[in-house]
């Protein structure tokens, strides 16, 4: 058990407005500090349980990716005047219409919804995370709560499937179905390398002329271009993994996969890029959380000899 030091300030106690004056700015939301403390404590609790992700570290203010979380509050008077129920439209964080949202200290902003707002049940907003990316894009992520489940259990299909993950083909099922590996990073790495070389040249030129990289417009423009290429690869991979995981879960009552240790496999420098490109751990995590949503079962097994076992099953079919 890690105990709090009594000799010197540790953790959040050593971050003061005297050391960081910008923390006292009036436009900062007070709930932002409360949520930061909660996230900090949760990070330490997870570190004590897992011990594999390293100690929690604070984010730097000059990082290109910045985010903060704030909480939604409902006043009794406002809720009473709006039918007496909590909804998306009567809290401190609320939707003004289908394309505008009201945020504390930020005000009214226009948003483009990723998906339609739920209208068939009573839904309330719990917390909101505002995030700024290196590409200059902003996102507002909502944590919604409802007394009814957002996903209904699907009817039984009486189908089971085992999957074998590999780099040649993304996966092979026990039904002899093969899903090709899209290799999103490999197909774009030449374009990315060219953009990164341009970025490196502009960085060297700015330093040679003793100009700040923050004020170098050519450097910042190229940095945004490199960031957009990375985002393109990430979005393509996420879309592919989400679609494939949802299809497997919806069409089978039981999905069995090998519990691959990607961290250990990445030590092989000859295969590290290919393994990182396929996103196996992300795919397994998606299967793990999607299965209970639709009333399915997902099981991870020891990867030893699983490939040979599945090949025998395929030949038998």
Residue that terminates a domain, selected from 149, 173, 193: 149
DSSP E strand stretches across the chain: 66-71, 94-95, 100-103, 107-110, 123-132, 138-146, 160-165, 169-173, 178-180, 254-258, 297-301
Determine the pLDDT at residue 287.
Answer: 94
From 83, 117, 149, the end of a domain falls on 149
Residue 236 and residue 305 in one domain: yes
Residue 205: inside a domain, yes or no?
Answer: yes
- pLDDT of residue 308 exceeding 70, the answer is no
39/165 same-domain check: no
- Domain endpoint, select from 14, 31, 56: 56
Residues 95 and 223 in one domain: no
Number of other residues whose CB lies within 10 A of the CB of residue 71: 20
Q: Which domain holds residue 288?
A: 160-316
Residues 301 and 172 in one domain: yes
Q: Are residues 269 and 225 in the same domain?
A: yes
- Tell me the mean pLDDT in the region 32-58: 82
Pair (300, 201) in one structural domain = yes
Residues 186 and 308 grouped into a single domain = yes
Q: Does pLDDT of 179 surpass 80?
A: yes
Q: How many domains does the chain have?
A: 3
Do 165 and 305 belong to one domain?
yes
> Tokens 């704030």 label which residue?
70
Q: What angle do CA 309, 310, 311 make, to 5 degrees?
A: 90
pLDDT tops 90 at residue 304: no
Residue 48 above 80 pLDDT?
yes
Identify the pLDDT of residue 312. 44
Provide mean pLDDT across the span 222-231: 93
pTM over 0.85: no
- Residue 41 and residue 183 in one domain: no
Q: Is it the case that residue 208 has pLDDT exceeding 70? A: yes
């Amino acid at each position: 058990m890690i105990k709090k030091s009594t000799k010197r300030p540790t953790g959040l106690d050593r971050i003061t407005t005297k050391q960081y004056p910008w923390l006292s700015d009036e436009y900062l939301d007070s709930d932002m500090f409360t949520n930061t403390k909660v996230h900090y404590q949760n990070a330490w609790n997870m570190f004590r349980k897992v011990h594999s992700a390293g100690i929690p570290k604070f984010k730097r203010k000059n990082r290109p990716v910045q985010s903060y979380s704030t909480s939604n509050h409902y006043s009794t008077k406002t809720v009473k005047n709006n039918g007496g129920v909590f909804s998306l439209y009567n809290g401190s964080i609320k939707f003004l219409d289908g394309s505008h949202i009201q945020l504390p200290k930020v005000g009214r902003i226009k948003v483009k919804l990723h998906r339609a707002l739920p209208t068939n049940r009573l839904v309330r907003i719990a917390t909101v995370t505002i995030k700024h990316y290196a590409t200059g894009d902003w996102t507002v992520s909502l944590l919604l709560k409802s007394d009814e489940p957002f996903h209904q259990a699907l009817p039984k299909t009486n189908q089971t499937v085992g999957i074998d993950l590999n780099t040649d083909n993304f996966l092979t099922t026990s039904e002899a179905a093969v899903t090709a590996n899209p290799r999103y990073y490999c197909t774009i790495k030449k374009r990315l390398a060219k953009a990164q070389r341009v970025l490196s040249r502009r960085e060297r030129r700015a330093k040679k002329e003793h100009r700040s990289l923050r004020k170098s417009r050519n450097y910042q423009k190229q940095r945004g271009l490199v960031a957009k290429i990375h985002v393109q690869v990430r979005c393509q991979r996420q879309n592919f993994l989400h679609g494939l995981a949802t299809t497997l879960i919806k069409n089978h009552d039981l999905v069995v996969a090998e519990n691959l240790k990607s961290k250990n496999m990445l030590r092989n420098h000859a295969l590290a890029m290919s393994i990182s490109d396929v996103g196996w751990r992300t795919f397994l995590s998606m299967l793990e959380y999607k299965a209970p949503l639709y009333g399915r079962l997902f099981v991870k097994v020891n990867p030893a000899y699983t490939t040979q076992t599945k090949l025998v099953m395929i030949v038998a079919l």
